[in-house]
Amino acid sequence: MNNRIRKKHRKLNRLISVSVFFFVLFSFSNVFAEKLAIKASVANVRSGPGTNYEVLWQVEQYTPMLILDKDKTGKWYYIKDYEGTIGWINKDLLTKMDTVISKPRDGRCNIRSGPGTNNDVIFKSIKGVPFKVLERKGNWIHIKHADGDEGWIHKNLVW
């Protein structure tokens, strides 16, 4: 009888451990995995959660940000950009929008007139240029910059 009780106890402990693991994983995944985009034309990224903190850098419209955490008030988000740089930004400057940022391997990447290398290069983008996503087609993304420039970029050239 003692062995039976021990086996049931072990099974129960495993079940509880697995349940706790998945609860923690899924509880935090919404906050930590969320990507939001800058909706203002320019936004300040700060060293802490408030306007009294130093401005570390500025970002332009459509810049994607990974949300790492929120402050106690929920008004400031602790963010990470495509280079892994971290800071704080006011939540009112962010929106849920599909955006990407150019991350070419060799300094510049081609923006094409259509989805495929057989289409003309209409302009080139340097590293760190944000775009709104208009459409996705296979490995290609139809993008638009805040200044109105539009084209197609390969998905391996963006974050």
**pLDDT digits over 86-140, tens only?**
999 999 999 999 999 999 988 899 999 999 999 999 999 999 999 999 999 999 9
133 Cα distance to chain centroid = 13
Query: Cα–Cα distance between 124 and 145 in angstroms, integer?
Result: 12
Averaged over 23-47, what is the pLDDT?
76
The yes-or-no verdict on residue 55 having pLDDT over 60 is: yes
Nearest-5° Cα angle at 68, 64 to 71: 115
| Mean pLDDT, rounded, of the chain | 88
54 Cα distance to chain centroid = 23
Query: Cα–Cα distance between 100 and 66 in angstroms, integer?
Result: 12
Cβ partners under 8 Å of residue 110, min gap 6: 121, 124, 153
For the CA atoms of 67, 72, 74, 76, the dihedral, rounded to the nearest 10 degrees, stands at: -60
Q: What pLDDT is attached to residue 90? A: 98
The yes-or-no verdict on residue 39 having pLDDT over 50 is: yes
Averaged over 48-64, what is the pLDDT?
98
CA atoms within 13 A on the CB side of 43: 24
CATH of 100-157, one of 2.30.30.40, 1.10.760.10, 3.40.50.10800, 3.40.50.720: 2.30.30.40
Confidence of residue 13 (pLDDT cuts 50, 70, 90): low
Averaged over 16-29, what is the pLDDT?
49
Query: Cα–Cα distance between 3 and 141 in angstroms, integer?
Result: 60
Q: What percent of the chain is predicted at pLDDT more than 90?
A: 77
53 Cα distance to chain centroid = 23
Contact 115, 137 (CB under 8 A): yes
What CATH superfamily classification does 34-97 receive? SH3 Domains (2.30.30.40)
Q: What percent of the chain is predicted at pLDDT more than 70?
A: 79
